Amino acid sequence: MEKYISQIAALPVSARVERLKEEMLAEPRFVSIEQARIITRVYQQTEGESPSIRRAKALRASLEEMSIRILPEERIVGNRTPGVRGGVVFPETGASWVDREFETLPTRAQDRFGVHEEDVRAFREEILPYWKGRSLEDRVRAVAGEEVDRVAKVIKINQKDHSQGHICPNTRKWLRLGPAGLRAEAEEHLKNAPADQCDFYRSIQIVMEGAQAFMRRYADLAEKLYAEHAEASLAEVARVCRKLAEQPPETYHEALQATWFLYVILQMEGNASSFSPGRMDQYLFPYFERSMEAGMTLSEALELTECLWLKFNQVVYLRNSNSARYFAGFPIGFNVAIGGQNADGSDASNALSYLFLQAQSHILLPQPNLSLRMYKNSPAELLEAATRVIAKGSGMPQVFNDEAVIPALEAHGVSHEDAMDYAIVGCVELTTQGNALNWSDAAMFNLVKALELTLTGGVDLLTGKVIGPNYGDLTTYKTYEELEAAFARQIDYYADKMVELIAVMDEMHAKCLPTPFLSSVIDDCMALGRDVTLGGAHYNFAGVQAIQVANVADSLAAIRKFVYEEKSVSAEALLEALRSDFSGQEALRQRLIHKSPKYGNDIAAVDDIGAKWTRYFGERLKQYRNRRGGLYQMGLYTVSAHVPMGQNVGASADGRHARDPLADGGVSAMYGRDQAGPTALLKSVSKLPYVMASNGTLLNMKFLPQFFATQAGIDKFTAFLRAFCRLGISHIQFNVLNEADLRAAQKEPEKYRSLTVRVAGYTAYFTELAPDLQEEIIARTSYEAV
Amino acid sequence: MNGFVFEVKRFAVHDGPGLRTTLFLKGCPLRCPWCQNPEGLHLEPRLWYKEADCLRCGNCVAACQERALALDERVHIDQVACVLCKRCLDACPTGALLLDGREVSADEAEETLLQDAVFYAEGGGITLSGGEVMAQWPFALELLRRMRARGVDTAIETCLLVKQDVLSRFLGLVDHFIVDIKYFDGAEHRRVLGESNELILANYRYLVEKGADVLVRTPLIPGYTATEANIRAIARFVRLTDANARYELLNFNPLCRSKYAALEEDYPVSGQPFSAGEMEAFYAILREEGIANIVRE
């Protein structure tokens, strides 16, 4: 093992990988309607058949017909569009928004895509008319559109126009059985299945036929190219693909290719935000070991790994313009977890953990979203290797803390063994592997807006209109405790509304979007004969994000101090200042900022407010069950949603101007307000109830590169990580950059095309972020260690 | 027991091993022209001004009953007229006016030093700095005793200008001595800093003889300490005193100019930090003089 570590750290990037990377980055991305045409045609041909059979046939046809491409030098092949990073129009889930926004896709502020004019015409003539009233988006709108809009400033309900993602499938099972084995398993079940389960098993049979055909097509294409190019690796690609259509993988190369096929096909079925490979260093290790024994070199293993790393960057996700602001940078969340523990508590890291870190340090692109699981006895060598990769500034690996995550999962009914084997999906969402539908992004709950309505008696500060219930306002609460009681009622009111609406989404997904392929790799669907959308998974959670602890804590601390304790500002004056967005009240605004304690500085009086309301929200969620019978889980993260969610909130008592972004990340301090340094921030953040936040949390920190310039700096950084672990915080990620980098990147984007930056939770290309997000990143507190 | 403190720096990464909290004590017997912490020179607190945070609202001037404040394009402080009544501090909405230090009890200082205890496990701990730690040696000893009782790793940064019998009391309480030797030449030391360095050099020998863990540092100040002759002489002395000595050169850091601007004083050093190439030339001198453990962080 020790021998491996130093050898791996010395491995260079191969010229083949460099060329493939350059080629990929140079290729423009376009909207693709090819699969939309196929799906529409199959639906037209299968009118009257069951939803799961129709979806299965649509997927099989896509796998059989979609154009495919192989580059001569590729060693891992497969994509859902012939071009890289194609924006796939997926009419089953949403066609109306595409119709509304098609022309703006090349020019919108966030996540642009090129558009071929003939595609726009074809979409409107051949595809859109069929889906009017039939897509998930339209059906949701018909059932619950008005109610969703009515509460939108407080609750953002998600999953309205795309499939549910954030799922970690059972890749181990896929590697053990392959499509032929899964098909055989479904056929075996079908022999004795009750009538109402037959379609489920038949649909799995259909999609596995498609999967096998897909692999054979790649084998055929590779053979054809080999005849033209005589590139030796193409012959091997052809052999691997042909084998995988019939048999499970045996070598490391075969296992990597099989893994990638699984994720491409999942995306072709679901077009969902994030299917995550999970603990790849664990389940690929037996294949790696076998190949090493058979003579594979480490540099060959690394090249194959890096070919997969590039692939993870070729599938992106086309969102509507509003959603793209909440989840900027088209994150698709191929989250790969390394390290951590085995079920018995022994260390799980292996040579692949280090190989993946080395691949990350070479590729430095947004995907995969690489996550390190650490715990109190994580090996020093692993932390040091991870630190050296963090120092490169790709924002990865992000770090998850077993000591916080495992107890949180267990507190929500996850078995000890499953909790020890947890992985991460999407950005920072926690999951068990291969047996859960977590519905991680059911909704985002804007606590800061709920607090605003508490102060105004239900009046929206931005419009002056009544949008929520009136339980009193700041001028009628005689004590701080009365204010708190009204805040609690506002939260309860909106939490009830939210749960009703999430149930509608869950139901509509079950009706419109059964997912036979996914269900074949999620336990216990196959055994129960039940689709994952109907509750076939072993674990059935729904996740809601509480947003944003820093603004709530800072605002309430200021109100308590100035209005109720010192009485130095009257309730009327403060409310008026908030209404006018502090117009003519700059001195008051500055006092609110500077003369009241702020979350993130290790000051109990204000940190405790944050912890209290986080706990309150978590307790409230415990009262509900989702439609699939499972619990709700609280999350504390926003991805990039703190910017658009801030635009829904008027001026706040923490001195924030109307429409300004909320604090970033999830548990981070308001930018610029944490002035006692990173240790104080961690102390504040550690006071939140992580055992309740099993849906995932997010803490951003920015370091300048010089911190990592010496061995002493590396050692101090790993000491910082150890303390993070002891403090029981669930997640942390690091931006390593300086302002000059970012300013330069704004001026000359073409020179910084591969500069990546953490937009809270995942990594995006900086130059592809909207200007306000770029500014926001620059504004975040940086910890200069010199 | 109370002491005078001007700053607490958490996540200190250049004041000893691991992650540390550094407490800066006020008061100093030396008057280095390049002093990076002018707020550490005097024991008594002074009114301090952060121009960048100032709104120019004039609330402070209105609140001052001593006419010690004036406002034009910035706030001006008449330190002689100021009686430290703190009315202006309350009146300032942004905290642009503040005191450059405060009196704290040993209990309070202990609590502050232990706030980051969870970060100290990997060799980290607390560091006392200044000003000059020895200017408040009874208070420093009290804090070190308390830290020792709790098993916290301790370091002090000192210029060693202190009687040996006082220094001897620190021996059992300090895990790491970080000592400044600025000039080897005694006359130069007296001329520039106002005090002889005999005691300093003798104290360094004493610490080495006692087997203390010592890191020697020299700040490289353009126009002052940063000459080949001075660095060579210090290096030679250090090596002859301790063949295994750890020696670190601190590159000049001009960031403290903003502090002098706040005080409306001129900062007498006009140089820039030395380039990597210039630093290499200084390191070459250390190697020539046989310094085995050159510390570079």
pLDDT digits (tens, 9 = 90+) for A322-338: 878 777 666 678 999 99
Restricting to B residues 99-138, those with a Cβ less than 8 Å away from any Cβ of A are: 115-116, 118-119, 121-124
Taking residues A744-762, what's their average pLDDT? 60
For residue B219, whether the previous peptide bond is cis, meaning omega lies within 30 degrees of 0, is no
Least confident range of A423-437, A560-574, A734-748:
A734-748
pLDDT tens-place string over residues A264-289: 999 999 998 899 999 999 999 999 99
The residues of A whose Cβ lies within 8 A of any Cβ of B are 586-588, 590-591, 593-595, 602, 676-680, 683, 707, 710, 712-713, 715-716, 718-720, 722-723, 726-727, 783, 785-786
A648-680 tens-digit pLDDT: 999 999 999 999 999 988 999 998 788 888 999
Measure CA A263 to chain center.
15
Instruction: Supply A446's token pair.
Output: 């804007």
Q: How confident is the model at residue A760 (pLDDT cuts 50, 70, 90)?
A: very low
Q: Which residues of chain A have a CB within 8 Å of the CB of B93?
A: 587-588, 590-591, 594-595
Mutate to test the interface with A, among B14, B122, B178, B246 (most CBs of A within 10 A): B122
> Which whole number is the average pLDDT over A452-458?
98
Closest CA to A783 of A710, A709, A705, A724: A705
Reading phi first (left if > 0) and then psi (alpha if -120 to 50, else beta), residue A296 is in beta
Q: How far apart are CA B208 and CA B224, in angstroms?
A: 27
CB contact under 8 A, B116 and A587: no
Output A613 or A333, whichever has higher pLDDT: A613
Asked if residue A784 has pLDDT above 50, the reply is: no
Q: Give me the helix-helix angle, A351-363 and A298-311, nearest 10°.
A: 60
ipTM of the complex as predicted: 0.95
Q: Tokens 């947004």 map to which residue?
A: A366
Which residues of chain B lie closer than 8 angstroms to A587, CB-CB? Answer: 55, 57, 59, 93
CB A765 within 8 A of CB A772: no
Contacting residues of B for A720, CB less than 8 Å apart: 11, 19, 119
Residues from chain A that touch B19, judged by Cβ atoms under 8 A, are: 679, 716, 719-720, 723
- DSSP secondary structure string for all residues of A638-666: -TTTHHHHHHT----TTSPPTT----STT
Please check the confidence at residue A748 and state whether its pLDDT lies above 80. no
Task: Count Cβ atoms below 10 Å from residue A96 Cβ, excluding itself.
Answer: 18
Q: Which of B7, B9, B13 to mutate to test the interface with A (most CBs of A within 10 A)?
A: B13
Boundaries of every domain in chain B: 2-43+102-295, 47-99
pLDDT at A764 over 60: no
**A762 pLDDT more than 60:** no
- Reduced DSSP (H G I as helix, E B as strand, rest coil) percent helix, strand, coil of chain A, to 5: 55, 10, 35
B68-97 residues touching A, CB cutoff 8 A: 93-95
pLDDT at A322: 82
What does the pLDDT look like over A482-536, one tens digit per residue? Answer: 999 999 999 999 999 999 999 999 999 999 999 999 999 999 999 999 999 999 9
Residues A34-66: pLDDT tens digits?
999 999 999 999 999 999 999 999 999 999 999
Integer distance in angstroms from the first to the last C-alpha of chain B? 36
Instruction: Domain B47-99: give its CATH architecture.
Output: 2-Layer Sandwich (3.30)
**Per-residue confidence in pLDDT tens, chain B, 297 aa:** 999 999 998 998 889 999 999 999 999 999 999 998 888 999 989 999 988 789 999 999 999 999 999 999 999 999 999 999 999 999 999 999 999 999 999 999 999 999 999 999 999 999 999 999 999 999 999 999 999 999 999 999 999 999 999 999 999 999 999 999 999 999 999 999 999 999 999 999 999 999 999 999 999 999 999 999 999 999 999 999 999 999 999 998 776 777 788 888 888 898 888 998 999 999 999 999 999 999 987
The Cα A765–Cα A431 span in angstroms is 26
The contacts of residue A4 (CB under 8 Å, 6+ apart) are A298, A351, A354
Q: Are A524 and A435 in contact (CB under 8 A)?
A: yes
Q: What is the pLDDT of residue A786?
A: 29
Span A227-266, pLDDT tens digits: 998 889 999 999 999 999 999 999 999 999 999 999 999 9
What's the token pair of residue B61? 């001037």
Least CB-CB distance to B115: which of A588, A602, A719? A602
Inspect the interface and report whether the beta carbons of A683 and B123 lie closer than 8 Å: no
CATH number of B2-43+102-295: 3.20.20.70
List of chain A residues whose C-beta atoms are within 8 Å of the C-beta of residue B116:
679-680, 683
Residue A774 has a pLDDT of 73
pLDDT at A758 over 50: no
On average, the pLDDT of chain A sits at 93
**What confidence tens digit (pLDDT) does each residue in A694-728 have?**
999 999 887 777 788 889 999 999 999 999 999 99
Residue A77 CB contacts under 8 Å (≥ 6 apart), including other chains: A70, A218, A222, A237, A241, A257, A260
pLDDT digits (tens, 9 = 90+) for A260-269: 999 999 999 9
